Amino acid sequence: MGRKKCLTIGEFPYVTVQDARQKVHEHKSLLARDIDPRGQREQRTNNWTFRKFCNELYLPHAIQHKKTWKEDQYKLDRQIISAFGDYRLSSITARGISTFLTQQKERTSSTTANHYATLLKRMFNLAVKWGLLEKSPATSLDRFKEKPHRERYLTKEELPRFLKALDELEDGLSKAAIKLLLFTGGRRGKITSLRYEQLKLNEKRLFLPDTKNGKSRSIILNDRAMAVIKELMKSKDDSPRTEESDYLFPTKKGTKKPYIYDLRTPFGKACDAAGVSGLRVHDLRHSFATLALQGGASLYDVSKLLGHSDVSMTQRYAHMADDSLQTATDSMSRVIDGAICG
């Protein structure tokens, strides 16, 4: 009598019960034809290098199912494929992945390394689900401890200096884009890629058909944001660059993107001229939220203005809301004092 052999189907929940039943059916079919399923699997997995898996299976799948597939492609091209590309999937170990992630942490930050870990876990889980691996080598990876969120925004003292420095910039389109980021709290990519067809000025809003969470939404425009857009429309016909483009912030012909994307240089010049340090372009979004709360908006209001899908995402600004509440209750107390003394 020969020894009984077992063949692992895969890990739950990455392989569902339905997937497992389908695999069992396929294995029984192979056995009925005197074909060893284990040998078939080993032959199949040995043919798959990490690079081949990325290019022929993972990326086509990501393009179909992930809004952020370009971010995955960037991470793969930038670091991951150079590290694992020529290795067979079955030869990549947890230790190898852990070493790679530690190198990324030292090269950049814990946050970036954790982003790489998330992508690798997803990829190897799919490899298990698709029958290329029995077990993912990335399952037990520990996340690095990340630094707390930066709390940097334009203060009331910095704001007028920053706006004055912006007005003195020669690059009119970049200046307008930076102002619109500050006055709307919008994400850089969504604001700089705006088309004129997205303007709903009669309703004082911008329409975003495709956002980070995959849903459409509108950005409500205040008077300052409206003024920036109207000035852009007024000067649209003054240059072939803007006259011939459907974008509010077009680039020169021959550039990689048809709209302005990188605002770091003009933004840096404005910060230097204003004596503002430690501020990033993304901090304009934080500045919008903070100024709105200082103006009396609630956390719920700010959550909606920023397009957060969950108000818990806005909790990082809770201390600013507390300051507003303190001002409100102090004001109420003074009304009572006035009534008693009167």
* Pair (170, 241) in one structural domain: yes
* Pair (165, 224) in one structural domain: yes
For the segment 186-215, what is each residue's pLDDT rounded down to a tens digit? Answer: 999 999 999 999 999 999 999 988 776 667
Q: Tell me the residue range of the domain where 289 lies.
A: 158-329
* Pair (57, 185) in one structural domain: no
Write down the mean pLDDT value for the chain.
83
* Pair (234, 316) in one structural domain: yes
* Pair (217, 170) in one structural domain: yes
- Both tokens of residue 117? 């870990």
Is 122 a member of any domain?
Answer: yes
pLDDT value for 318: 66
Is 7 a member of any domain?
Answer: no
Report the number of distinct structural domains present in the chain: 2
Give the confidence band of 25 by pLDDT, cuts at 50, 70, 90. low
* Pair (192, 297) in one structural domain: yes
* Pair (122, 79) in one structural domain: yes
162: pLDDT strictly greater than 90: yes
* Pair (111, 28) in one structural domain: yes
Is 12 a member of any domain?
Answer: no
Is 338 a member of any domain?
Answer: no
* Pair (197, 48) in one structural domain: no
Inter-axis angle of helices 318-341 and 283-294, nearest 10: 20
* Pair (320, 181) in one structural domain: yes
Is 144 a member of any domain?
Answer: no
Considering only residues 310 and 278, tell me which one the structure prediction assigns the higher pLDDT. Answer: 278
Give the confidence band of 116 by pLDDT, cuts at 50, 70, 90. very high
